[in-house]
Amino acid sequence: MISINDSHQNGDELNPDLTPLLDIIFIVMVFLLLTATVKIKALNVELPQTATKILQTTKADPITINLVANEPYWALQGQSVSTWDSFNQQLLTEVKTHPNKPVVIGADKKASVEQMLKLLAFLQKNDIKATQLLMEDQQ
């Protein structure tokens, strides 16, 4: 018959089981690794600083971009453009043919912010400077 030494059995009972502690440490490490590598994308927008309430008037014959609330979202020089890709091509063509004309953006109040950011990102990517953003006076 096999006998168990009582002193050896009592010694094992005093050692704590570290398996749950190691599991928790590994879960925390994985969580920290996953959250530490997330990159936040941002679009830098430079807003003009003005102390006066009088806004500038638009120069004659600008390149106008309209952003509306419903599809098609885009209009160039007052003409609706059905897709984003065709709008991009028409805008680039217009800017290349008339490089001295200022670019004016007019957006509907109910227009999507997502569409506005998409437009601003496109302008920034292609180094097109929008000289004015049209807005309504809030009184």
Q: Tell me the pLDDT of the chain (139 aa) as tens digits.
A: 555 555 555 555 677 888 889 999 999 999 888 887 667 677 776 766 666 555 555 556 788 888 888 888 888 888 888 888 888 899 899 889 888 888 888 888 888 888 888 888 888 888 887 667 776 655 5
Structure tokens at 51: 């102390």
Please report, for residues 34, 44, 92, 121, the alpha-carbon distance to residue 41 in angstroms, rounded to integers and kept in the order given.
17, 10, 25, 12
Is the bond into 72 cis (omega within 30 degrees of 0)? yes
pLDDT at 119: 86
pLDDT at 25: 93
pLDDT at 106: 85
pLDDT at 110: 83
Cα-trace Rg, the chain: 31
pLDDT at 11: 54
Q: How far, in Å, CA of 116 to CA of 105, rounded?
A: 10
pTM of the model: 0.55
pLDDT at 26: 93
pLDDT at 27: 93
pLDDT at 56: 56
